[in-house]
């Protein structure tokens, strides 16, 4: 805590003035609507504002265990589970109309390791461990981590045979090759699969899918290698992750440009209103 508290004093002495000058007038006149929602893990080594070199106001940041988003559920009587992630999507994608959503996974993800270990251990021996496993199991089911685990179960067979994964990102199925040279650890393969699985979950929301299909919203995958301090971008053209570097930056930037279309009506995020209130938001 001492490091944090002394850091506040350092900030007040060296940087606070610039922040106040930048926002003093803007905050009173205009709402802050960053064009990007960045979803990342809570891992303390993952600092999006650091490796993206962004400033306050540049992007919304949503952090949780495993950089996950629950899938929309339009089934009768089973509405999408209320969670901070769904509320964040409502605020950023439906109301603030962000132009880009980035889901960033990382190597050595302990949240995914806990999930993988839970689903591969044959039995639990102690009550505390069982209780923790129940929590992890619930998290996996409600946030779609099970889907990533299911996809990665036969990763070794897929990579050795050169087979591709399939993800429904937007309205077009996407073919993806994860670690085609079979050089990565299984957990890191799972982490990359999980990034793309969450993009699929993101596309399951009707209002978001409509904006993606109309060209108003772009969704992207990113992956951070902690040990190598390298950042990778999911390339649809190359059907896999490529390192963000001087040789690839222009290609990546070009792939991010949107086709702007007329504004559509706000859609729903997978909820059904009670019958006494009205019909589902469409």
In the prediction, which pLDDT does 258 show? 58
- Give Cβ neighbours of residue 52 (< 8 Å, ≥ 6 apart): 38, 59
Contacts of 57 (CB under 8 A, 6+ apart): 22, 23, 32, 34
Domains of the chain: residue spans and CATH:
31-256 (3.40.1050.10)
CB 68 within 8 Å of CB 136: no
C-beta separation of 191 from 202 below 8 A: no
Of how many residues is the chain composed? Answer: 282
Contact 65, 43 (CB under 8 A): no
C-beta separation of 71 from 168 below 8 A = no
How far apart CA 97 and CA 117 sit, in angstroms, is: 38
Please, which residues have CB within 8 angstroms of residue 100's CB and are 6 or more apart in sequence? 35, 36, 37, 217, 218, 219, 220, 256, 258
Report the alpha-carbon distance of residue 81 to residue 153 in Å, rounded: 26
What's the confidence (pLDDT) of residue 208? Answer: 92
Distance CA 173, CA 239 (A): 12
Longest pairwise C-alpha distance within the chain: 59
pTM, full prediction: 0.83
Pairwise CA distance, residues 233 & 241, whole Å = 5
pLDDT tens, per residue, the chain with 282 residues? 988 878 878 878 887 767 766 666 655 555 678 999 999 999 999 999 999 998 888 999 999 999 999 988 776 555 556 788 999 999 999 999 999 999 999 999 999 998 888 877 745 555 555 666 788 888 888 888 888 888 877 655 555 555 688 888 876 788 899 988 888 898 999 999 999 999 999 999 989 989 998 889 999 999 999 999 999 999 999 999 999 999 999 999 998 875 444 454 445 565 544 444 333 323
What pLDDT, on the 0 to 100 scale, is given for residue 272? 47
User: Does residue 53 sit in helix, strand or coil?
Assistant: coil
Task: List the structure tokens of 91.
Answer: 């605020």
Q: Supply the pLDDT for residue 195.
A: 96
What single DSSP character describes residue 274?
A: -
DSSP 191: H
Q: Could you give phi then psi for residue 243, rounded to 5 degrees?
A: -70, 140
How far is Cα 93 from Cα 208, in angstroms, rounded to an integer?
7
């Amino acid at each position: 805590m001492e490091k944090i508290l002394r850091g506040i004093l350092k900030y007040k002495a060296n940087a606070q003035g610039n922040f106040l000058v930048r926002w003093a007038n803007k905050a009173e006149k205009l709402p802050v609507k960053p064009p990007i929602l960045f979803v990342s893990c809570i891992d303390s080594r993952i600092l999006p504002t650091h490796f993206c070199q962004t400033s306050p106001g540049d992007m919304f940041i949503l952090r949780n265990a495993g950089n996950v988003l629950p899938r929309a559920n339009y089934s009768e009587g089973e509405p999408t589970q209320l969670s901070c992630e769904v509320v964040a999507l409502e605020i950023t994608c439906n109301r603030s109309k962000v132009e880009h959503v980035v889901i960033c996974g990382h190597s050595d993800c302990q949240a995914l390791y806990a999930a993988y270990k839970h689903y591969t251990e044959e039995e639990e021996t102690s009550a505390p461990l069982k209780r923790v496993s129940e929590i992890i199991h619930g998290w996996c089911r409600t946030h779609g981590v099970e889907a990533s685990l299911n996809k990665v179960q036969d990763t070794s067979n897929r990579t050795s045979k050169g087979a591709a994964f399939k993800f429904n990102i937007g309205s077009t199925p996407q073919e993806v090759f994860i670690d085609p040279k079979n050089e990565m650890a299984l957990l890191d393969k799972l982490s990359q699969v999980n990034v793309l699985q969450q993009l699929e979950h993101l596309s399951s929301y009707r209002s978001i899918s409509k904006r993606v299909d109309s060209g108003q919203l772009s969704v992207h995958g990113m992956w951070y290698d902690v040990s190598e301090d390298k950042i990778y971008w999911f390339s649809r053209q190359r059907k896999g992750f490529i390192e963000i570097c001087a040789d690839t930056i222009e290609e990546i930037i070009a792939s991010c440009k949107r086709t702007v279309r007329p504004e559509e009506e706000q859609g729903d995020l997978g909820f059904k209103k009670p019958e006494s209130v009205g019909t589902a938001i469409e």
